[in-house]
Amino acid sequence: MDKVRRLIAFLVVALVGAGIFGLSSASSGLGVNGARISGNTFRSELTAIAATPALRCYLTALDPVSFVSGGGATTFAASGAAAWANLRVEGLAITQYATQHLKYHSTAATLASAKTSLESQLTQAAAAKQYHCPGSAAVALAAMPAEMRNAEISSQAASLYLVSKLDKTIPLTTKSVQAYYASHSADYDTLCVSVAVVPLTQTSAFATAQAGGESVAALATQFSIDSSKSKGGAVGCFAPTSTSYASVRSDVGSTALNAFPTTPQDISYNGATDALFVAPTARTVTPYAQAASAVLADLQGQNATSAHSAEQTIVYRAAVDVDPAFGLWGLSSAGPGVFAPGLPAKADVTRAKSLTTRASVYQ
């Protein structure tokens, strides 16, 4: 009996202690290599995100899974707090690295450029997700508390400086973009394609007919269930200015002209899984003036990949601490980051209630 009472007393003290820790750690916030964001500051940022539809919209475009509404009118899911904590940790780590190791110091000009870059990044993210946010990216930035806005612009400036110093970074100047196009012009050919969407049960027969020398048009007409079969599978031509160009170019890959690949893609078509074959039927050189936007987008993507790798290394080596109220700092297959704490399984909660009931019998 005494042992049981002591155990219960210990549990009560532990719970009270946890409550006290929660209150006292409310101002601990986030820390990266000694630099800190107070808990109050971080909470004010979360409040601004929750209360500003435009800001929340653009952040959701960056991370659709995390920045979603919570149970209250001006709240969002715990994953949102963790996602924002991740962005702030990355920003702090990059700013510190650029300042301490690259001797970077911001100027009015670099901050102005970073603000424009950040607005463009948010705008592009919303456009890519086809979000119609209530207000421009500039409006969203203006809605941030001053400290939050200044921190984001400073982090963006430091990130841009870091990218400019990476060995694999290609300067986004007109001369560099033109030079890249000149040595990769075939990657920007205007592509005319035909497709065949084939039921999985027919892929063996398709392969046999293909090996027998049937043409792209004949194969599409015979086996495809797509409406384009009436035109021999032809779906049109796609220039680099087309919004579908990147996916078409990826689907075509290195496939020879007027031939379907031997290995198809699995796609969902009218609620079923079918095989997609894509054949290039014509390639036409695209003038630089028409391809420039696609070339620039590719270079931005390559630079972003290099930057992401460098940023992950910087964050991995940083000393980070996070108030558990905002998430848990840990390491996953994708690298270090802040994770939203998981809730216990319903069955575990039920068992805990049962244990409490039984323990009360001995009091």
Q: Do 84 and 37 share a structural domain?
A: yes
- 222 part of a folded domain: yes
Instruction: Point out the least confidently predicted range of 22-26, 243-247, 359-363.
Output: 22-26
Q: Do 111 and 212 share a structural domain?
A: no
Q: Do 331 and 198 share a structural domain?
A: no
**Which among 198, 250, 235 has a CA at the least distance from the CA of 219?**
198
- 21 part of a folded domain: no
Listing DSSP states for 305-349 in one string gives HHHHHHHHHHHHHS-EEE-TTT-EEEEETTEEEEEPPPPPPHHHH
Q: Do 306 and 159 share a structural domain?
A: yes
pLDDT value at position 194?
95
Q: Do 242 and 147 share a structural domain?
A: no
Instruction: Point out the least confidently predicted range of 19-23, 128-132, 337-341.
Output: 19-23
The pLDDT mean for the chain works out to 82
Q: Do 32 and 122 share a structural domain?
A: yes
Task: Please name the residues in contact with 28: beta carbons below 8 A apart, sequence gap of 6 or more.
Answer: 39, 321, 323
Q: Are 44 and 148 in contact (CB under 8 A)?
A: yes
Q: Do 57 and 140 share a structural domain?
A: yes
Of the candidates 219, 253, 284, which is a domain's last residue? Answer: 284
How many domains in the chain?
Answer: 2
The token pair that represents 222 in the structure block: 């015979």
Binned at pLDDT 50, 70 and 90, residue 185 comes out as very high
- 180 part of a folded domain: no
Share of the chain above pLDDT 90, in %: 42
**Which among 335, 328, 331, 329 has a CA at the least distance from the CA of 313?**
335
Average pLDDT in the 325-342 region?
82
pLDDT value at position 23?
34
Parallel, antiparallel, or unpaired: how do β-strands 35-37 and 320-322 relate? unpaired
- 50 part of a folded domain: yes
Provide the domain limits for residue 240.
Answer: 190-284
- 20 part of a folded domain: no
Q: Are 242 and 161 in contact (CB under 8 A)?
A: no
**Which among 297, 289, 260, 286 has a CA at the least distance from the CA of 186?**
286
Average pLDDT in the 27-43 region?
87
pLDDT value at position 204?
95
Q: Do 144 and 32 share a structural domain?
A: yes
Average pLDDT in the 4-12 region?
38
The token pair that represents 246 in the structure block: 């990147």
Average pLDDT in the 127-140 region?
88
Q: Do 265 and 201 share a structural domain?
A: yes
The token pair that represents 162 in the structure block: 């870091």
Q: Do 321 and 280 share a structural domain?
A: no
Q: Do 276 and 143 share a structural domain?
A: no
Gap between the Cα atoms of 61 and 67, Å rounded: 9
Question: pLDDT tens-digit profile of 262-295?
Answer: 999 999 888 889 999 999 999 999 999 999 988 8
Binned at pLDDT 50, 70 and 90, residue 210 comes out as very high
pLDDT value at position 75?
60
Q: Do 194 and 154 share a structural domain?
A: no
pTM for this prediction: 0.59
Average pLDDT in the 221-238 region?
94
